[in-house]
């Protein structure tokens, strides 16, 4: 598997994702780290997004103020 750089990967996805290139490239560095390290975080975000849409979860009040 040939690994491309983060900007090429996100630009290939399109749909506005490319607007996050500078932040993700700085924070993550390379595509392998993006593909592996963030999987659990992304799943966690999707899980709570779904619960929020269903009205089953809300952020804590102290987290919103921060």
What is d(CA 48, CA 42) in angstroms, rounded to the nearest whole number?
Answer: 10
**Residue 34 included in any domain:** yes
What is d(CA 66, CA 59) in angstroms, rounded to the nearest whole number?
Answer: 11
pLDDT of residue 1: 57
What is d(CA 3, CA 63) in angstroms, rounded to the nearest whole number?
Answer: 37
**Residue 59 included in any domain:** yes
pLDDT of residue 54: 92
**Residue 1 included in any domain:** no
**Residue 33 included in any domain:** yes
What backbone torsions phi and psi does residue 62 show, to the nearest 5 degrees?
Answer: -70, -25
Q: What is the pLDDT of residues 35-52, one digit of tens each?
A: 776 677 777 777 888 888
Domain count, the chain: 1
Q: Is the pTM of this model over 0.75?
A: no
23: number of Cβ within 10 Å: 9
What is the residue range of 39's domain?
Answer: 6-65
Please determine, for residue 22, whether its predicted confidence score (pLDDT) is greater than 70: yes
């Amino acid at each position: 598997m040939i690994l491309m750089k983060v900007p090429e990967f996100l630009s290939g996805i399109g749909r506005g994702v490319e607007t996050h290139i500078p932040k993700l490239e700085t924070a993550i560095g390379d595509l392998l780290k993006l593909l592996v390290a963030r999987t659990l975080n992304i799943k966690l975000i999707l899980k709570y997004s779904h619960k929020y849409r269903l009205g089953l979860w809300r952020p804590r009040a102290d987290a919103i103020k921060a």
